[in-house]
Amino acid sequence: MNDPTWIRENIGIPGSIPGEPYQHPEGFDAWLEENLGSPEDAGPVTLFGLTLDRCVLCCAQQLTFRGYKVLYLAEGTDTASGDVSERELMIESPPFIYFGKGIRFSDLVDRF
């Protein structure tokens, strides 16, 4: 599952058999509060990950729905196809622009 609200029992426990996936949005909310704080207190959340057009987009949607501001780290993600020009186009096009904004690594460093 690409959506961060889906979990499985026994994930991360060596030697255990993972359970069936199920939605647990309250668990994601608790994780966000513990790790990022409230949307009002947290700064922009910078996302990076393996596939922009799968898990990164799903996570951006869930964060936006909860009130967080999202940035996509352009150099920190890729598309399923691996095409760099496709990644650049996606970051600046719908539906991605509805849930976040692209940022370059050099611009991210400047924020610190």
CA 84: distance to chain centroid?
A: 19
Which tens digit of pLDDT belongs to each residue from 61-106?
999 999 999 999 999 999 999 999 999 999 999 999 999 999 999 9
Count, residues in the chain:
112
Residue 112: the pLDDT is 84
β partners of residue 6? 23
Q: What b/e sequence results for 77-91 when a residue is b if at least 16 CB atoms lie within 10 Å of its CB, and e otherwise?
A: bbbeeeeeeebeebb
Residue 65 token pair: 């729905």
pTM of the model: 0.90
Helix %, strand %, coil % of the chain (to 5): 40, 20, 45
Residue 64 token pair: 């936006």
Which tens digit of pLDDT belongs to each residue from 11-68?
889 999 999 999 999 999 999 999 999 999 999 999 999 899 999 999 999 999 999 9
